[in-house]
Amino acid sequence: MPPDRRDRPECHARQRIQDLGTGIALTILAFLFLAGLGQATVSFSPLDKDLLYGLQTWRGPTMNAAMRLVADLGSPLVLTSLVILTGLMGWPSRAPADRFGPLGILLAASLINTGLKEWFARPRPGPEFGPLVQEPMASFPSGHAMLSLCVYGLLVWQVWRAPMPGFLKASLVALLTSLVVVIGLSRVYLAAHYPSDVIAGFAAGVPLLWLATVLLRVTGESQEGQRR
């Protein structure tokens, strides 16, 4: 049987160039987006304030407890526990790179997010918004949003590539994707962040997520080639 054209060296080289170009483009776009949003470190947009005030009308004991629980699913402690547990279990993949890739992207995202917070130094929403949680670090960009996108997003990518029934795969992808969105919403509901903080957190996580998928794919192809 003739070799698959996709296995040829020139095809792999072309794919690497495409991956590099996409990664650079995503990084530049994310940087410009963050720089644009970050200009409003003190004077926030009317939309930021309107959304914060609007979400206050949803508040109640049950909703407050639910949103705190959802927000916790995007906390560094929970995400660290999750990636260690899934890595030790070998789920959804037993390949070494796939097992510990989420831990690597979590550490990288945490360091970058801390640096961005110190750089922009945007204050958290003030007492006029009735914050339900108190956070010591700056507000921009949202760490929960950035870390959740990176970790749960990478799990989505791994699940999509894993051999499992189609319905289960689609359900897990939908669940994890929805979770990322709701975690971001919960941070605004709790008045821990302005909406633009959350959007910026998602934007900052996109290049990292892309880089992680490229590295894991390249590592997997290399290991597969060595076994042949």
Render pLDDT for 79-89 as a digit per residue (tens, 0 to 9).
Answer: 999 999 998 98
Would you say residue 136 lies in a domain? yes
Q: Which residues, 6 or more positions from 191, have their beta carbon under 8 angstroms from its beta carbon?
A: 52, 55, 56, 125, 129, 130, 131, 132, 133
Q: Residue 148: left if φ>0, alpha if ψ -120 to 50, beta else—which one?
A: alpha
Would you say residue 132 lies in a domain? yes
Number of compact structural domains in the chain: 1
Identity of the highest mean pLDDT range in 72-76, 120-124, 205-209, 223-227: 72-76
- Write down the pTM of the prediction: 0.85
Q: Output the pLDDT for position 224.
A: 55
Task: Answer yes or no: is pLDDT of 71 > 80.
Answer: yes
Domain that holds residue 207: 8-227
Render pLDDT for 133-186 as a digit per residue (tens, 0 to 9).
Answer: 999 899 999 999 999 999 999 999 999 988 888 899 999 999 999 999 999 999
What is the average per-residue pLDDT within 60-77?
A: 97
Q: What percent of the chain has pLDDT over 70?
A: 78
* CATH code for the domain of 48: 1.20.144
Would you say residue 73 lies in a domain? yes
What is the average per-residue pLDDT within 53-57?
A: 90
Would you say residue 164 lies in a domain? yes
Q: Output the pLDDT for position 100.
A: 84
Q: Output the pLDDT for position 226.
A: 52
Q: What percent of the chain has pLDDT over 90?
A: 52
Would you say residue 223 lies in a domain? yes
Pick the more confident residue, 129 or 42: 129
Q: Output the pLDDT for position 1.
A: 44
- CA 171, CA 162: separation in Å to the nearest integer? 13
Would you say residue 2 lies in a domain? no
**Cβ atoms < 10 Å from Cβ of 125:** 20
What does the mean pLDDT of the chain come to?
Answer: 85
Task: Answer yes or no: is pLDDT of 66 > 90.
Answer: yes
